[in-house]
Amino acid sequence: GFPVFAWKGESEDDFWWCIDRCVNVEGWQPNMILDDGGDLTHWIYKKYPNMFKKIKGIVEESVTGVHSCGILIFFFSFFLSLKRTTDMMFGGKQVVVCGYGEVGKGCCAALKAMGSIVYVTEIDPICALQACMDGFRLVKLNEVIRQVDIVITCTGNKNVVTREHLDRMKNSCIVCNMGHSNTEIDVASLRTPELTWERVRSQVDHVIWPDGKRIVLLAEGRLLNLSCSTVPTFVLSITATTQALALIELYNAPEGRYKQDVYLLPKKMDEYVASLHLPTFDAHLTELTDEQAKYLGLNKNGPFKPNYYRC
């Protein structure tokens, strides 16, 4: 096998070097790509575009892409990360969560369970309405930035928290990212001579303004749950099984089944992965009768939901 490269605390340059070492192997040509977040695909496209001539397909999973049952996953990973890095009490704290997709919903659920006062920002009226119906106050970031104790980005976008926002935050405000890579918080704007960086402990920096105000930046704006905690092995088992099945499907697919396009995992495959993990809970599925299946217009063995359905 090939060596795997990565280490805690690696720099941006180190990160891309590691990916290059996994790809740039003399006499070796991949025929499939298994990716998480799109970085490997991006690097091959940028540096070794000729490799794509022999690549049959790409399997990709992403925090900010399609992520089934993301609420459950992010409830645990977000909760553990924030508790581990801050050691603070969350009851009564004012928190703004930017984005109410699968990740944002999980973060808000965790915060609500801990007794926090939660605000949500959204650009999508449907997600915004969901946040309101779940009992969260929908605001613009500018409206609450001076008063909140914690800012969490979960949008998948870039420059959601700008230098202007950072300048207006109150003393000791905690800033962290649960969204896309390190693009959501404009961390680069903080690396200027008038601001002082103080490393408090691993993954925790104080950024200090000339007047003494400081914000607490976690994981330098990188994904908090990947930098500061681990994902439960059970969740990893589900995602790894799903990706392995997707790889097998792509590799064995006859010519013409898949065009040059992006495909969601077929619902039947999602259901199969779920069924493989049910015995862990000693769970027993109810089976449809022939009459019930006919009434619903379903095959007794699934799929039970349309492809667009998300849990």
pLDDT (tens digit, 9 = 90+) per residue, 159-191? 999 999 999 999 999 999 987 667 899 999 999
What DSSP character marks residue 172?
T
Tokens 């999980």 correspond to: 106
Spatial neighbors of 216 by CB under 8 A, at least 6 apart, are 86, 172, 173, 174, 175, 200, 204, 205, 206
pLDDT digits (tens, 9 = 90+) for 214-228: 999 998 888 765 444
Evaluate whether 173 touches 179 at the Cβ level (below 8 Å): no
pLDDT digits (tens, 9 = 90+) for 50-65: 888 888 888 887 654 4
Domain ranges of the chain: 1-61, 69-228, 232-310
Distance CA 137, CA 255 (A): 51
Overall pTM surpassing 0.85 (yes/no): no
- Domain spanning 69-228: which superfamily? NAD(P)-binding Rossmann-like Domain (3.40.50.720)
Pairing mode of beta strands 117-121, 137-138: parallel
Tokens 């589900």 correspond to: 238
Distances (CA, A) of 196 to 163, 199, 227: 15, 10, 22
Residue 229 has pLDDT above 50, yes or no: no
pLDDT digits (tens, 9 = 90+) for 101-132: 888 998 898 899 889 999 999 999 999 999 99
Distance CA 178, CA 117 (A): 18
| CA-based end-to-end distance of the chain | 37
Residue 232 has pLDDT above 90, yes or no: no
